[in-house]
Chains A and B, each alone.
Chain A
């Protein structure tokens, strides 16, 4: 596994995630949700920013300018995998995706999710080897950074769960599944029928997340149990909570994680 290949995979997955989210944004555009009478009207959202910055960015963040931005983003996201597979430099497309991500994040701080944050990191790091193809050291740093962020995400998430009474008591999953918008009635019923199983799952999630650094220390194939656990975790979230962006954005970082593991183990002589 090389850093460049790992970052290419991350770039393709991030772009596929952006195809999905931009299709959603275009749907919201058609519903009028970005307009003056919509859910995210710029005339209110702009009050969170300095008037100068808001005025300067209004042409791109409101009206037809916003539609043009979304269409450019959709086109760039759809073309990125094609460019990678054709061996073409995808730098410009990634740059468009990163800038559009910045602009849309600036426009609205509501309605985002963890997958969006990871996508931003993946796109910026995927740009590094495209912008400097003859500098393998830069690609190595970028891939290590993605590996470090995904590791941090699991440790932080597991650590935070330790402070949650619902998680410690093993009741969190039943409660989450009882959520009308993001839950699942069937799974909620099963977890209520088997509370011991719910407790085991909750504690397993915490154990998996806070012990994630073992992925770097354990020898293969035992370390890969963590990758299998991560895949099950993210696919489970997509299936039962319909939060599908987690799949391309988090699983797309796994080659970088493997690369970081190889680097770590060779650095300490394992």
Chain B
């Protein structure tokens, strides 16, 4: 009896695991698998991860100036500072084969980027609706923690490929300005 029950459970688990390798089915099964019991085995395929992702931000010290649109940003250009990279998220080439904990942090950004890409493909008209997702909140949180200074801050995710000096890069995502810091 116990053997038959286990055989049935494992057979169902295996069939669901096999189905989880297929993209559209995997997207449907995901929400029902909060414990990660259904593996996804498509390592480095079909499109291997070839990009590093960098999180950057810039800020406008004035809280009075409205920066809701690109035109407003253009008009207040003289108040907006330079782009700065968030160092803790910066991809770094690990020296040690057996100690590379930073990979979890950079993989987090890669997972967020993958989530944003899926959102864009699923909801092409999402627009500013992306601001109501945990992907966006995490990125905003990561630039918020950089400084407690009251300001309006904007972030960007840049994707790069290759080692310096041959590295090429492109903007993957750029956010709106948000009030942050004390009083933000």
List A residues 211-270 near B (Cβ within 8 Å): 238-239, 242-244
| Interface membership of chain A positions 86-109, coded 1 if the CB is closer than 8 angstroms to chain B and 0 otherwise | 000000000000000110011001
Instruction: Number of A interface residues at 8 Å Cβ cutoff, please give it.
Output: 70
Are A178 and B46 in contact, with the CB atoms below 8 A?
no
Residues in A neighbouring B92, C-beta threshold 8 A: 180-181
Query: What is the minimal beta-carbon distance from B45 to any residue of chain A, in angstroms?
Result: 4
Query: What is the minimal beta-carbon distance from B181 to any residue of chain A, in angstroms?
Result: 13
Are A47 and B21 in contact, with the CB atoms below 8 A?
no
A201 within 8 A of B: no
Known contacts A27-B101, A41-B141, A176-B49; A49/B34 CB under 8 A: yes
B32 within 8 A of A: no
Query: What is the minimal beta-carbon distance from A18 to any residue of chain B, in angstroms?
Result: 14
Docked complex Cα distance between A147 and B51 (Å): 33
Query: What is the minimal beta-carbon distance from B47 to any residue of chain A, in angstroms?
Result: 6
* Interchain CB contact (< 8 A) of A164 among B46, B52, B103: B46
Are A175 and B88 in contact, with the CB atoms below 8 A?
no
Residues in B neighbouring A144, C-beta threshold 8 A: 10
Are B3 and A149 in contact, with the CB atoms below 8 A?
no
Query: Taking chain A's interface residues, is the majority helix, strand, or loop, or is none over half, making it mixed?
Result: helix
Chain B interface: which of A5-13, A72-80, A114-122?
A114-122
The residues of B with any CB-CB pair to A shorter than 8 Å are 2-3, 6-7, 10, 13-14, 17-18, 21, 34-37, 39-52, 88-89, 91-94, 96-98, 100-101, 103-108, 111-112, 134, 137-138, 141-142, 145, 160-163, 167
Pick the 6 closest A-B CB pairs, nearest first.
Answer: A164-B46, A160-B45, A160-B42, A153-B41, A181-B91, A24-B101
The residues of A with any CB-CB pair to B shorter than 8 Å are 20, 24, 27-28, 33, 37-41, 44-45, 47-49, 101-102, 105-106, 109-114, 116-118, 120-121, 128, 132, 135, 137-138, 141-142, 144-145, 148-149, 152-154, 156-157, 159-164, 166-167, 172, 175-176, 178-183, 185, 188, 238-239, 242-244
Residues in A neighbouring B96, C-beta threshold 8 A: 242
Are B52 and A181 in contact, with the CB atoms below 8 A?
yes
Q: Count of A-B contacts with CB under 8 A?
A: 177
Residues in B neighbouring A142, C-beta threshold 8 A: 6, 10
Residues in A neighbouring B41, C-beta threshold 8 A: 114, 117, 152-154, 156-157
Residues in A neighbouring B111, C-beta threshold 8 A: 109-112
Residues in B neighbouring A163, C-beta threshold 8 A: 45-46
Docked complex Cα distance between A109 and B33 (Å): 11
Are A152 and B48 in contact, with the CB atoms below 8 A?
no
11 contacts between A and B (CB under 8 A): A28-B104, A105-B35, A106-B34, A111-B104, A111-B107, A152-B14, A157-B41, A162-B46, A164-B45, A239-B97, A243-B100
Are B103 and A242 in contact, with the CB atoms below 8 A?
yes
* Interchain CB contact (< 8 A) of A156 among B14, B21, B36, B47: B21
Docked complex Cα distance between A49 and B106 (Å): 23
* Interchain CB contact (< 8 A) of A157 among B42, B88, B167: B42
Residues in B neighbouring A49, C-beta threshold 8 A: 34
Query: What is the minimal beta-carbon distance from B155 to any residue of chain A, in angstroms?
Result: 14
Known contacts A117-B40, A157-B43; A178/B100 CB under 8 A: no
Known contacts A44-B138, A242-B94; A180/B36 CB under 8 A: no
Docked complex Cα distance between A162 and B45 (Å): 8
